[in-house]
Chain A
């Protein structure tokens, strides 16, 4: 089962290249190579990675392979946060795609329309994790790093960088962290600098929008996605 190359519907749209769902022994590069051999399409192409985890070297190789066939890599989408971070590192347009089948059950468990993205690992200076729904980060957000979500931002760790909840205008979005000491907080269109004094030890905190300004409280015990 090789990758599928679906021609664009309109001339100004990119073609769609979809990696196979089942990850066999073949690498993504081999899968794409096989598909391209039977095709003569040219122009921009959007890559749908599904569950594939592609790092910078692999993405770079893919980009070069596509280029040799007259195709230009325009955009990358997928479910694996690692792939999206790598795409961002290469300066490519990227976004999270919705899981196609029931395998993404965690996306609907909250009962809301917001899917939840879980990302493991620390965001380091210069990293930017952006998701459409809510995000749960298992790790720290270091100074200089950014995390933003259309819904809530939940950090199981230390938040010392910048966080933006409710990117697309949701003013009820919250930012929750085990240790909340960000450089800057944003909820919807409100901006606040992080507090200067050291955090109370052992107390998870949350930031929410009250009358247009961002307020920090001890975290409420409820899981915000259920509210």
Chain B
């Protein structure tokens, strides 16, 4: 297959609830659809739910914990996705036994995963304590996800500082849950406001989309669909940009003000 070394990417945010796990699940599916052998690792051992979002909860037999203990082989613990066999999930260990994991354990697990993958995505827990440090120990590069809120941006900034100190490069940014109308009426931080502070290359911009909630509850990531919803398309674009494709990023709050764009949209809606 590919001769390049696998890419080990940490997905983190600092603040909770901004969309780390959703991004991990959707990005994992999107990369798998693009033909990449992808492994997703839930590093949120205390509150694991990556398996829920991927709809794989009932297929878990062994976890990372058993792999490390040597009671099973990695292949036994890996859960392949039903529809996208390129994607496999390594479930986190038992939430009641949090003490077992060290940065060294993490490096071991990731090294095992890297042997058989093109991409390893690590879903980082919220916060900057031990869980974050464990998850970051094995990562080479990182995606920081944030929403256009002051607190989320502040936490993301802190996390970026910690990633820099750890020597993790490159760090790229995904801006999640953008509401173009609120940005246009200046009730929400704009894309420029956020990139101004964080000063990171923007890897993607995801608009607020109710379908995300539906897909989460169903355990079917948006990127599985043939014609995905706006957020699903944004996640697909993130995957494509991650592979080096040069796709322009459209700021939805600016797009709607253009007269030509509005005309185009009217034409489109009339035609179809």
Contact = CB atoms under 8 A, between A and B. Distances in A.
Interface in A30-89: 55-57, 85-86, 89
A125 interface: yes
8 contacts: A55-B167, A121-B164, A124-B161, A124-B164, A125-B157, A140-B199, A142-B157, A143-B197
A127 B161 contact: yes
B155 A125 contact: yes
A126 B166 contact: no
B267 interface: no
Interface string A129-168: 0000000000010111100000000000000100000000
The 8 closest A-B pairs by CB, nearest first: A124-B161, A125-B157, A125-B158, A126-B158, A124-B157, A56-B165, A89-B165, A55-B167
B154 to A, nearest CB: 5
Contacts of A126: 157-158, 161-162
Nearest to A58: B167
A55 B157 contact: no
B106 to A, nearest CB: 13
Nearest to A59: B165
Interface of B: 154-155, 157-158, 160-162, 164-167, 197, 199
Contacts of B167: 55-57
A190 to B, nearest CB: 26
Contacts of A89: 162, 165
B147 to A, nearest CB: 16
A144 B158 contact: yes
Given A140-B199, A142-B197, A143-B197, A124 B158 contact: yes
A85 B162 CA distance: 10
Contacts of B162: 89, 126
A125 B165 contact: no
A145 B162 CA distance: 13
A184 interface: no
Main secondary structure of the interface of B (DSSP, over half): helix
A97 interface: no
A122 B199 contact: yes
Interface of A: 55-57, 85-86, 89, 121-127, 140, 142-145, 160
A142 B165 CA distance: 16
Nearest to B160: A124
A144 B165 contact: no
A26 B197 CA distance: 38
Contacts of B157: 124-126, 142-144
B154 A125 contact: yes
A143 B199 CA distance: 13
Contacts of B199: 122, 140
Residue of B158, B161, B199 with most partner-chain A CB within 10 A: B161
Nearest to A144: B154
Contacts of A125: 154-155, 157-158, 161
B206 to A, nearest CB: 23
Contact of A55 (B154, B165, B197): B165
Contacts of A127: 161
A106 B50 CA distance: 53
A125 B152 CA distance: 12
Contacts of B197: 142-143, 160
Contacts of B166: 55-57
Contacts of A123: 161
A145 B155 CA distance: 12
A139 B26 CA distance: 35
Nearest to B199: A122
Contacts of B158: 124-126, 144
A60 to B, nearest CB: 9
Nearest to B156: A125
Contacts of A55: 165-167
Residue of B154, B158, B160, B164 with most partner-chain A CB within 10 A: B164
Nearest to B163: A124
